[in-house]
Amino acid sequence: MLSTLTKEYPHIILSIGHSNASYEKCKESFAWGVSHATHLFNAMSPYHHRKPGIVGAVLDADVTCDMIADLVHTHPSTLELVQKIKKNKLILITDAMRAGCMKCGTYDLGGRKVEVSEGKAVLEDGTLAGSVLKMNEALRNMLNHTSMNMIEAVYSVTKAPAQKLAILKGELCAGYDADIVIFDESFCIRYTIVAGELKYKS
């Protein structure tokens, strides 16, 4: 079924995540056409030396994966480990909910109450509920807490996801969409350009 889907609809990206699939089943899914892992480590069985699960399969395969680099969902040492193994197959994401860029307080997520405090969004039972991470903060975290350099970090939020989605973004090239974000040494956003037009200036 999956191999037929990938053949007939190559623009659809099949991704695995939020699952307790075994290492063997996960590797099998890659052979069927699954080529990405969502929110690596989160809402999936943890890596175990006898049962490596999805995490082990992803680290052992030539597939892309994304991670929430907010230092809440993933420990700095975990970010370091994955970026060393996956290299240009790592994509940084935010998984931000509607409370992103808002003050601490109570917000709604699909009809459920979420408390946001100190950069962390949780349900009433303490379960993580997305994040309030900003992309420039994800870059800062990777530069400050891992051995990833600036070029590698920027690649993980520009060219890597653009290539995965097969869209003309992520590079400053002729024929590509002129969507550009300019930040300073502190990763504060100074300019945002969309389709060649200045949309934001700090």
117: how many CB neighbours lie within 10 A of its CB? 11
Question: Catalytic annotation on 95?
Answer: yes
**pTM here?**
0.91
Whole-Å CA distances, 43 to 28, 61, 132, 139, 171 = 20, 20, 17, 23, 32
Query: Which one from 95, 108, 125, 179 is the annotated catalytic residue?
Result: 95
Model confidence pLDDT, tens digit, residues 97-140: 988 888 999 999 888 999 999 889 999 998 999 899 999 999 99
Model confidence pLDDT, tens digit, residues 37-57: 999 999 999 999 999 999 999
Where are the domains positioned within the chain? 97-131
Residue 171 Cα to chain centre, angstroms: 19
